[in-house]
Amino acid sequence: MNYRDLEEVRQIVAAATSLNISYAYEDLVFPENTVFIIQFDDKNPDNLICYFHKDCDIKSRNQIYGRLKNECHLKNCTLDLKGCFILEQQSEEIQIQFSKLAN
């Protein structure tokens, strides 16, 4: 397993959005409000992957993504916008479904 620098991601998210990290699980990082999710890229430790909630409007998504990408650049890493997600409650578990971006 690769080293995952959660503190660096916390700093990027806080600087770009003023949000705190509410939860981290395996390779996923969930900021407050879950407008987006950051995923560690195990193939490239200098890259992060971003998914936005499917209900996030395009203008907000582009603004937030731009700020996150700029903060990543300052930390010498990259950020890829990979798609969108929804969360579904199934009994006591939450399922995440990922999909391509809807424009």
Residue 45 structural domain: 6-99
Question: Which two tokens mark 48?
Answer: 């992060």
pLDDT on residue 43: 92
User: Tell me, what's the pLDDT at 4?
Assistant: 86
Instruction: State residue 103's pLDDT score.
Output: 59
Note whether residue 70 is domain-resident.
Answer: yes
Nearest-CA neighbor of 82 among 57, 58, 50, 48? 50
Residue with tokens 């998210």: 13
The reported pTM is 0.91
1 lies in some domain:
no
pLDDT at 94: 83
Residue 19, domain member (yes or no): yes
Within-domain flag for 26: yes
What 3-state DSSP class applies to 84? strand
State the total domains in the chain. Answer: 1
Q: 86: how many CB neighbours lie within 10 A of its CB?
A: 12
> Could you report the average pLDDT of every consecutive run of 10 residues in the chain (103 residues)?
86 97 94 95 94 95 97 97 92 88 67
- Running DSSP on this structure, what letter comes out for residue 34? G
Task: Specify if 74 maps to a domain.
Answer: yes
Residue 59 lies in a domain: yes
Is position 92 within any domain? Answer: yes
